[in-house]
Each structure stands twice: as C-alpha cells, then as structure tokens.
Amino acid sequence: MHPDFPLFALALPLVPLLIGLLHRAAAARHEPALVRLGQAAGLTTALLAVFVTWNTGPAQLTLWAPAGAAWLHLALRLDLLSVTMAVLVAFLGAVVSGFSLHYLAGDPRRGKFLGWIQFTLAAVLTLVLAGSLGLILLAWVATSLVLHRLLLYFPQRTGAVFSARKKFVVSRLGDLSLLAAIILLYHHYGTTELPALFARAGAGDTAPLPLAAGFLVVCAALKSAQFPFHSWLPDTMETPTPVSALMHAGIINAGGFLIIRLSPLMVHAPAALQVLAIIGAVTAAFGAIVMLTQPSVKRALAYSTIAQMGFMLLQCGVGAFGLALLHIVAHSLYKAHAFLRAGSTIGAVPRAAVPLPTGAVLGGLLGAALLTAGGATALHLLAPSHARVPALFTLVVGLALAYGLSRTWSSGGGLAAALGGAAAMVGLAVASFALHGLAQVLSAGFPVHQPPTGLIVGLALAFLGLFLAQSLIWRAHHSPWGRRLHVHVLNGFYIGTLANRLLNRLWPRSIQS
C-alpha cells in the first residue's frame, strides 16, 4: 500500500454501487433523494481526489494480492489520467442520472433503470482507477455486461434485442483480445501491476510488447466502434436516450482510455501504433462522410461518435496521448449534451434549404486552404523553437476556419452574417490554441513517441482530401453520380447489412430466447 494513497478514493466506485443497490430496493418516492445523494457524493469525492493527487502526486493501492497468484493482484491507481477521467465520469453520471429521473417519470421500472445506471458508473469508475491488469479486465467485462442490461431495457423490441446481441458479440471479441494481451504480459513479466510493468518496459525489456500491443489495438478498435466493426453503434438507437448519452459520451471512450493508460507499453511497439493510426484515420473519414447523409438525428450523432473515436485513436497512434485525453473530455461533454437534447433538435431548427456554395466561394475556400497551409509552414519555421506550434495543428485550425467562413457566407446572410461568423471563427481559433496549450501540459505525464514522417504526411494529405470532399459534397449531391453515391453512403456502404446477415445466421433474430 502506498502511504500517500487517500483511502476516501475507494468511495469513487463504491458510492454508485451502494446507490444502485438502494435504487433497486427503495420506493419510488425516495428515488429523487437517492439521485441527489449520488450526484453530490460522486462529484465531491472525484474533486477531492483531484486535489489530493495534484498535491501529493501519483499513488497506488493494492487491494488484494494472494500469495503465489500475482495475476490475481487487484490495485487502484491515482494519477493525472485516472482523476481526470474520474471527474468526467462522475459529472456525466450526475447529469445522466438527473435526466433519467424525469425522462422515466411514471415508469414503474424507473428504480431498476436508475440502479443499472449506477452499476454502470461503478464499473466505469473502477476501470479508470484500476492500477493492475487484473482489475482492468474485471472492470472492462463488467462495464460491458451492465451496459448490455441497459440496452435490453425494452426487451419486447426485436431491433433493440438484435442490436444488443451484435454489441455483445463484438464486446466478447474485445474481451478475448484484452485477455490475450494480459496473458502475454504476465507470462513474460510475472506481474500485472502497472508501475512494475512500466518500469520493466522502460528498462528495455520489451520482448512481448509487439504482439501484446497488437492485441490491445484490436481490443481498443472493437470497443470504440472502429471500421469495420462499427455497425452495432448506430443500431442501438432504440435504447432510452440516457443510455445513448452514457454510451456515446462515456463507455465508447474505453478503447482510447486503454491505449492511453498503457501508453508506456505501447510506445515500445511502433508498428502497432501505426496500425492504430491507420484504423483511426479510415474510421474518422468513413464516419464523417456517412454522418452527412443520415436523416435521423440520433443516427447522425452515432456516426459522429464513430468519426470522433477514429480521430481520437488516430491521436493515440501518432503518440499524442495528452491530446487524445483532452479529446475524450471535450467529446464526452459535447456528445452527452447533444443526445440529451436530441428530442428538441427538430423543433428548435427551422427546416430551410441551405444554398449551395457557388464556384467563387469554393474557389475562395481552396485559396484559403492553400494560404493557410503556407502560413502554417512559415509560422512553424520562423517562430522560436520554444514557442513553435506544430504546423499540422495550425493547418487543421486554418482549414476549419476556412470551411466555417465559407458555409457562413453561402448561407445567404450577407455581410452581417459573414462578420458574425468570422468573429465566431476567431473565438474558436483562440480556444483551439488555448486547448492545445492545455494538451501540452497533459502530455507531460505521458511517454514521448515520434511517429514516422511518412505516416504524418500521409495522414495530413488524407484529411486534406476529406476536407475538400466535405466542401464539394453539397454540389455533387445534385448530380446523377452524386445521387447514386448518396444511396451507398446513406447505407454505410452496406457494412452493417453484411454484419446483420452474419449475426442472424449465428444468433437468429428472435425475442423469445
């Protein structure tokens, strides 16, 4: 046991576990009080953990260490990563629990639903606080199983049952991949506690890491809905909205969290990280394109999540672990808000045709992109070494500004709209660079990995192509070939259809079993 480990941190997973048990036994009139108690206790404990960790540094607590069975060691760890994720999970849990209280008002099963929400939070908090591979595996599987119960909240809906089964199969494949990685690491190192593993790898003992890292990449890709194993995510839209919010804003991030947590091991397997970057890039491009064609708000949000998870794993693949952590936090907050207000989106936004960008606007957009690329390169070369912002980051921000301004101008609002859009874009640019600075601070706690130059150049060109494709897609939609392509994109290039046929052969679509 670490002498500085704050024992109150044990309450982080125990509080939602206890609240969940109380929800399942309490009368309906006590449910609001239990929700408020869980919200207050969870957030307070998480913030205290941040304060203590900031002042005392990382700490490890071994919960169980049976003699002669090092693979069964269970430990908790408090560090920058774990407390950041704990605060995020506690906050999202508080929001989703409060929303669920009103969303299911009058439902006789509300208490059981709130109980399963709390059990899910307990499992996720255990995962983010885990300091040993054994506890990571247990929490990983537990998170998936309790989520499965929430996905089956409407067992009479054939579509909900079938999509839950698809998620179940993909999750079990991910579990097997994680188990294989843990077996390889334990067989070589003789321990599952993270500090010991990191120390051995840092000392140059890296023999099992290429293969183990490969299994971890597969596990992360399956958990975070990466192409072509993504189709379960858009199909889980029949679940209650709070479950969608919790899944898209929290649980789906587990793949990226796993890679970040084990980054001291992953950096010794550069080939695995390159594969992860390529998987992430392909998924990000796929999700971003398919998202644009979805008529359903929730399915569009699902493909948005797929794209964002791809981009986050791409960041992990190029060694930007601090930036990936920041991405997890920002995306979780945005996606929870988006899902919880999805029901009011149609009423809030008037249905008006968006004018197509003219040739002049598109030409100006391309010119702005080229100017931004040149300016980014010049700033990178001329700035002092200690003050340099990566040229690629500057390029991405510049392209986003150019795209936003072009859409604002083409919306037909005239000069006033363009000036307002320009002001908003400038604000976003300032926020982007501020967040980049925060990411650099977060990155100080993670190992350094320098990806190959060829990979970076290839990814930059790929995203430039994606940017131009998104800029031109509105015009292509009105051409004959564009309409044909739209049908294929709308259906996700039929990857989900193929997956459904395969699953239906293995596990027939029936709600009786």
137 located within any domain: no
472 located within any domain: no
139 located within any domain: no
152 located within any domain: no
Same domain, 221 and 321: yes
Better-scored residue on pLDDT, 67 or 205:
205
Token pair for residue 392? 């690629």
Per DSSP, 388 falls in state P
Token pair for residue 410? 């083409």
Same domain, 215 and 314: yes
Distance from C-alpha of 142 to C-alpha of 17, rounded to nearest angstrom:
12
209 located within any domain: yes
Confidence of residue 223 (pLDDT cuts 50, 70, 90): very high
Confidence of residue 273 (pLDDT cuts 50, 70, 90): very high
Confidence of residue 378 (pLDDT cuts 50, 70, 90): low
457 located within any domain: no
Q: Virtual CA dihedral for 21, 24, 29, 31, nearest 10 degrees?
A: 50
468 located within any domain: no
Ramachandran class of 403: left when φ > 0, alpha when ψ lies in -120 to 50, beta otherwise: alpha
- Residues 187-206: tens digit of each pLDDT: 999 999 999 999 999 998 88
Distance from C-alpha of 24 to C-alpha of 7, rounded to nearest angstrom:
27
Same domain, 296 and 177: yes
Distance from C-alpha of 327 to C-alpha of 305, rounded to nearest angstrom:
12
Confidence of residue 14 (pLDDT cuts 50, 70, 90): very high
Domain span including residue 63: 1-131
Q: Single out the residue in 398, 421, 445 at which a domain terminates.
A: 445
| pLDDT surpassing 60 at residue 381 | no
Same domain, 166 and 299: yes
One-letter amino acid at 219 equals C
Token pair for residue 279? 């998987």
Same domain, 191 and 334: yes
Q: How many domains does the chain have?
A: 3
Same domain, 315 and 281: yes
Say if residues 218 and 285 touch (Cβ distance below 8 Å). Answer: no
Same domain, 361 and 406: yes
Same domain, 113 and 76: yes
Q: Single out the residue in 112, 131, 150 at which a domain terminates.
A: 131
Same domain, 265 and 325: yes
Say if residues 260 and 325 touch (Cβ distance below 8 Å). Answer: yes
Q: Single out the residue in 418, 445, 472 at which a domain terminates.
A: 445
Same domain, 377 and 424: yes
One-letter amino acid at 499 equals A
Per DSSP, 65 falls in state -
Same domain, 112 and 184: no
Mean pLDDT of the chain: 82
Same domain, 338 and 368: no
CA end-to-end span of the chain: 47
- Contacts of residue 416, Cβ cutoff 8 Å, sequence gap at least 6: none
78 located within any domain: yes
| pLDDT surpassing 70 at residue 102 | yes
What is this structure's pTM? 0.83
